[in-house]
Structure 1
């Protein structure tokens, strides 16, 4: 999803993304293709049987000062195939600091779903730590808008800069991949992919995601229960 103030194109040549196919293995089936009005919108990931996490700007329209409607959530989508059907939202959350100022450091979103689709797909673990992630290998996987709709793509690489609320990396991504999990080899998520070049200048020449802090960790788990 493209937003004012962020780079819409986050591919850092050469493009090193690879397609995920099939998508029915774990953790791929716990990664969610999000549509709005049946058009590609964002990515997300399951964190409990009926809860998913994405970026705040995927749920709240700051320009219109309103929550998005007509959202559908398809775990493990693969092109036109939707192996687990879809769910809809019963409740949406994001940070008030994001809704008021658009601060990408607080760009996170949580969705409570109308069905326990995660009982079939499984879900990711969640992690926070005070120590740096610099040099840690992590994967960003989701649904980029420059590829055919519904195709899942991935790239792994090192975290290059760990900031209090952001993680910076050179993983290739594209608009539509906002909300993708940034996760470790043990399938625990440490961040949420949000943008290319931040309007706040926190990750110059790098892509960026909202870091799972102790506070955000608690918020997500409280909702997911």
Structure 2
């Protein structure tokens, strides 16, 4: 009873933050593949039964994705479309809350993918994000994260990235936190990441908000910095439209499961 009451209070507190540029939460290989810098180290998550760890999952394509709605997950564009081979990746099953090679608490099929047409044509890092619609509303069971647009000049006291790095044991979940800044519409940080964490949601904890929300997607690493797509107003509106299945047809390509 106490747990149920705590969850209700937490959900209520989050709803108070609802605004035009904020999607509320619910509690119910481009770039160099090696991105370990060694300043902000990753920690393993062995129990993903609690929120928000349970809304993070591994894709069968080898990337990471995160629930942002009852049946929608956010990931990187290159996790669903191979720009070099000019072909779709068609095994996009979602394994939320996975923490080991032998454990898959949930295996969720997918229905369709939303990605920008210009990403398919160019592979630009600034366009490297996608939304996958799942075949069932697993978010009604596990919950999902809100997402929001933030001012480009805002400094992030802390971000958190959680995913499935390929330099660790298969199927193990790892998380890392560090500061970040926005430069040229990209989030820049020194959190340790590795191939397989592509598509991980970038959770932000801005100074004016206490609850973590998704404000970007981890996609690349070059030299001594890692980075991802920043949710400015345009990106926010695009993700919002994809989540509500009202895709912006002039910029969006929709790929349905064969």
- Tell me whether the two structures share a fold, i.e. TM-score over 0.5: yes
* 3-state SS in 2 of match to 1:86: coil
Worse-superposed segment, 147-156 or 125-134: 125-134
* 3-state SS in 1 of match to 2:140: helix
Which among 227, 233, 237 is matched to residue 208 of structure 1? 227
Residue in structure 2 matched with residue 70 of structure 1 by the alignment: 91
The answer as to whether partners of 1:164 and 1:211 remain within 8 angstroms in 2 is no
The structure that has the greater radius of gyration is 2
Are residue 193 (structure 1) and residue 218 (structure 2) matched?
yes
- Give me the TM-score of the superposition, normalised by structure 1: 0.88
1:55-204 correspondence runs (5 A): 55-79=76-100, 80-83=102-105, 85-159=106-180, 161-185=181-205, 186-197=211-222
Misfit runs of 4+, over 3 Å: none
The alpha carbon displacement at 1:14 in A equals: 4.8
* 3-state SS in 2 of match to 1:196: strand
CA 1:216–1:135 in 2, change beyond 3 Å: closer, same or farther? closer
Task: Output one character per residue of 1:54-75: Cα deviation in whole Å (capped at 9) or x when no partner.
Answer: 0000000112212111221111
Distance 2:34 2:154 in 1: 25
- Give me the TM-score of the superposition, normalised by structure 2: 0.78
The answer as to whether partners of 1:171 and 1:207 remain within 8 angstroms in 2 is yes
Distance 2:124 2:218 in 1: 14
* 3-state SS in 2 of match to 1:223: helix
Which among 208, 218, 225 is matched to residue 237 of structure 2? 218
Distance 1:78 1:19 in 2: 9
Distance 1:114 1:102 in 2: 27
Distance 1:205 1:149 in 2: 25
Residue in structure 2 matched with residue 27 of structure 1 by the alignment: 52
The alpha carbon displacement at 1:133 in A equals: 3.4
Runs of 5+ in structure 2 lacking a partner? 1-28, 206-210, 245-258
Task: Output one character per residue of 1:137-176: Cα deviation in whole Å (capped at 9) or x when no partner.
Answer: 11111111111111110111100x3034310000000000
The answer as to whether partners of 2:182 and 2:188 remain within 8 angstroms in 1 is yes
Distance 2:40 2:151 in 1: 32
Give the RMSD, CA atoms, in angstroms: 1.5
Runs of 5+ in structure 1 lacking a partner? 198-203
Task: Output one character per residue of 1:72-96: Cα deviation in whole Å (capped at 9) or x when no partner.
Answer: 111111102122x111221111122
Distance 2:233 2:194 in 1: 28
